[in-house]
Amino acid sequence: MPMDEGYRDLLIKQQYRIYNDHSAVKLCHWMKESMLRGRCCYKQDFYGIQSHRCLQMTPAINECSHRCTFCWRVQEHDFEVKEWAEPKDMLDHLIEHQRKLISGFKGDPRCDLDRFNEAMNPNQVAISLAGEPITYPYMSDFLKECHSRGMSTFVVTNGTYPEQLEALDVLPMHLYVTVAAPNKEVYTKVCRPKSPDCWDRLMRTLDLLPSLNTRTVIRHTLVKNHNFGWEDEYAELDRRADPDLIEPKGYVFVGGSRTRLTIDCMPSFQEVRDFAGRLGERVGMEIIKEREDSRVVLLGHQGMVTDVRELYGLK
């Protein structure tokens, strides 16, 4: 069945732009901040991407196996895709959508013209936004298309599709797996999986990660009084996945999550930092970068290259 028209109208009202029902693009807060005020996303600080040249998109807005309590997105609107867009067409159309979304910045005196012109030609693709991107059946070809244009690629997955991840012929340059619970009991309450085997599937993904020839990052989205703490159990999962980096990040009280949680569920930056320090001691990593306004800390090893474009030799 196609996308529900009421859902489509809601997404458009929220400034999503949609192509072929299942793919979409939306400007993130930090792109706007970068364009108008020169303030960048923490991913620019951590990984060297340029916030104003980032295409935040999803190839599969139609489905997610989770209904996470902390998710800011619109939930409960899964639908079946009858005909998936081809990778090149999808990328071309989403770039055009983004160009239209940013067109108004050109006349704003706060927007540097050189920065605007750069933004019209994105060189980074954040494949996340909404839904579960790994379910897009042509993901390898889409990544190949992005890389052929000199674009760096980040994929964020919830880890419940290990078969699709293992089947990729081309990998993203930066693979995030969200691990938002230390054990199955907390996972069931916080991530609210739609299938009873999702925890087991996540464990299979963690077991797969060490064999993947790309940079891997475990993200712990931390919700106070829900999944915060349990450093020993998180550390056990992290050792199992053996990621290059670990990113503890505090939940933010925004979007749809406000109907399920309260503002008291947001941990302070210091609480996130203290958690990261305790976790780092257990997994043999240390805090190498941090960003207070995003309540996020990066665990890794001193001296490692984190700039994705430098890592892959992109100009």
User: What integer pLDDT is reported at residue 279 of this predicted model?
Assistant: 98
Domain ranges of the chain: 5-311
| 233: helix, strand or coil | helix
pLDDT above 60: residue 160: yes
More confident residue, 204 or 128: 204
Query: Quick one: pLDDT at residue 203?
Result: 97
Q: What is the pTM of this model?
A: 0.92
Confidence of residue 79 (pLDDT cuts 50, 70, 90): low
pLDDT of residue 255: 67
> Residues 307-313: contacts with CB within 8 Å, 24+ apart?
307/47, 307/48, 308/47, 308/48, 308/49, 308/152, 308/154, 308/173, 308/174, 308/215, 309/48, 309/49, 309/152, 310/48, 311/173, 311/215, 312/152, 312/173
According to the model, what pLDDT value does residue 14 have?
Answer: 81
pLDDT for the residue 78: 73
User: For the domain 5-311, what is the CATH code?
Assistant: 3.20.20.70
Determine whether 256 is exposed, middle or buried from the number of CB atoms within 10 Å of its CB (0-12, 13-18, 19+).
middle
The fraction of the chain above a pLDDT of 70, given in percent, is: 96
